[in-house]
Homo-oligomer: A and B are copies of this chain.
Amino acid sequence: MTHPRTGLWFIGARGGVAATATLGLLALEQGHAGHWQTSDGPVRKVPPARDQVGLVTAIPQFAALDFVPWRNLVVGGHDVRACHIADAALTLVHNGAIKLSLVDEFMDSLNQIESNIELGALFNSGQAIERLAAVEPTRRTARETVESIKRDLRSFARDEELERVVVVNLASTEPPTDVADLPERWEELEKLLDANGCPLRASSLYAIAALDLGMPYINFTPSLGASLPAIEELAVLRGTCHAGQDGKTGETLLKSVLAPMFAARNLEVMSWVGHNIFGNLDGLVLNDPANKAAKMQSKDQLVGQILGYDPQTLVSIEYIRSLGDWKTAWDHIHFRGFLGTPMTLQFTWQGCDSLLAAPLVLDLVRFVELSHRLGEVGVLSHLGSFFKQPLGLAEHDFSRQFSLLCDWAERHASPQSRRS
């Protein structure tokens, strides 16, 4: 199978995750991501696949999948801010997360990608996001907003001669959407697009625009996006696929790995407290209580689901400026062992948020592009291991989610495929 050119459209294209994913993609095309010189010698000697540290698609289990090569991917996107994609990258340099030389090397490519970034839309996006934006909240209707997004997506596909465009939501977290009164069918929801006071937020309008054009859509954020029966129906009607929701990168990943251990050993979790501190733009937006609510909900539900009962849980996310992109999480798990004796597990996770998220974004794009190429339609539930709130999957245990992915990969192995 030859691979056509594929577009990668980032909503929030100038944010930290998108900038890191873009920079990483450029480095992967050159074949030298991961060449970080360490104290143990000039360049690490590791098996080839290890050059792609952090990429799930690079592990042996997925070697037989016919992924689109890195060099066939073209980046574009929307952003409501007026800065440059390199700004986010430089912030990561200042945070000590990536090297200046990496940004320097790809400055020309970043400038070129900038020309593919359009000004995004605010629509019920909430004050925290509006404060960051270079645009005014729109006075357009939801439908007009959707149509404007579609125009940008079509132009991108046409100008760059793309066979396929994967749209990824990487924008800041919106406040929760009140979905109680939203209709379950697309034909009903569609009517709301013309109504005054349409309750949908921007993330869902982006999802509608992409899916309505038959483009696959990935929601890497806690915002609502396509996570609504009516929009899921739209995807099926248009014969396209989507995945989500909210990338599982750090503390929640650990929860989905550790909670099954307590369940398997029948150790009773009495309380699970998680405190997260970090200082990037995401953190600033989450510092607004309305936006934080969406995130907390996404982080806090899986422990009870895995255990089968509800221990007392507490999750906090706080904006601590000095930490920049380094998210530090402290979790305190208080559990009861045999004969009722209380014991404790604590962990501290110090990870660079954008660098944990970006490779997963690239992995998801490859998986979703492949599914779309293979004709899969609707929610891609086999991608649940990537998400805090896996769409179409009632399983939060990471190892079981990962087994589902491996099973899918076995079924879709392409014997003749070569790794890109």
Does A339 contact B264, Cβ atoms closer than 8 Å?
Answer: no
Once the chains are docked, how many angstroms separate the CA of A321 from the CA of B41? Answer: 10
Q: Is A119 engaged at the interface, CB distance under 8 Å to the other chain?
A: no
Q: Is A58 engaged at the interface, CB distance under 8 Å to the other chain?
A: yes
Q: Which residues of B contact A111 (CB under 8 A)?
A: none
Number of copies: 4
Q: Are A56 and B341 CB-contacts (below 8 A) given A100-B100, A260-B399, A322-B312? A: no
Does B339 contact A356, Cβ atoms closer than 8 Å?
Answer: no
Does A356 contact B337, Cβ atoms closer than 8 Å?
Answer: yes
Q: Which residues of B contact A101 (CB under 8 A)?
A: 100
Q: Are A271 and B322 CB-contacts (below 8 A) given A54-B337, A399-B260? A: yes
Given A56-B265, A273-B320, A343-B351, 16 more A-B residue pairs with CB atoms under 8 Å apart are A34-B338, A39-B321, A97-B341, A98-B339, A100-B100, A254-B345, A311-B322, A316-B316, A320-B334, A330-B346, A337-B351, A338-B356, A338-B359, A345-B351, A348-B348, A399-B399
Among A36, A322, A348, the most chain B Cβ lie within 10 Å of the Cβ of A322
Contact of A24 among B49, B50, B339 (CB under 8 A): B339
Q: Are A40 and B316 CB-contacts (below 8 A) given A266-B56, A268-B50? A: no
Does A318 contact B323, Cβ atoms closer than 8 Å?
Answer: no
Give the shortest distance, in Å, between A259 (CB) and chain B (any CB).
10
Q: Which residue of B lies closest to A336 (CB)?
A: B53
Once the chains are docked, how many angstroms separate the CA of A52 from the CA of B265? Answer: 11
Once the chains are docked, how many angstroms separate the CA of A343 from the CA of B253? Answer: 15
A interface with B by C-beta (< 8 Å): 20, 23-24, 27, 33-40, 46-47, 49-50, 52-56, 58-59, 91, 94-102, 253-254, 257-258, 260-261, 263-268, 270-271, 273, 275, 277, 279-280, 309, 311-312, 314, 316, 318, 320-325, 328, 330, 332, 334, 336-352, 355-356, 358-359, 385, 397-400, 402
Q: Which residues of B contact A267 (CB under 8 A)?
A: 53-54
In the complex, 18 of the A-B residue pairs with CB atoms within 8 angstroms, ordered by the A residue number, are: A23-B339, A27-B339, A33-B338, A34-B336, A36-B336, A38-B324, A53-B340, A54-B267, A55-B338, A99-B100, A264-B385, A277-B332, A322-B342, A338-B359, A345-B347, A345-B351, A397-B399, A399-B399
Q: Which residues of B contact A271 (CB under 8 A)?
A: 277, 320-323
Q: Are A309 and B46 CB-contacts (below 8 A) given A332-B277, A339-B98, A356-B337? A: yes
Does A280 contact B338, Cβ atoms closer than 8 Å?
Answer: no
Q: Which residue of B lies closest to A277 (CB)?
A: B273
Q: Are A58 and B337 CB-contacts (below 8 A) given A347-B346, A352-B343? A: no
Once the chains are docked, how many angstroms separate the CA of A156 from the CA of B154? Answer: 73
Q: Are A340 and B35 CB-contacts (below 8 A) given A271-B321, A275-B275? A: yes
Q: Which residues of B contact A336 (CB under 8 A)?
A: 34, 36, 53-54
Contact of A34 among B24, B279, B321, B339 (CB under 8 A): B339
Q: Which residues of B contact A97 (CB under 8 A)?
A: 341
Q: Which residues of B contact A23 (CB under 8 A)?
A: 339
Q: Which residues of B contact A316 (CB under 8 A)?
A: 275, 316
Contact of A36 among B55, B340, B344, B348 (CB under 8 A): B340
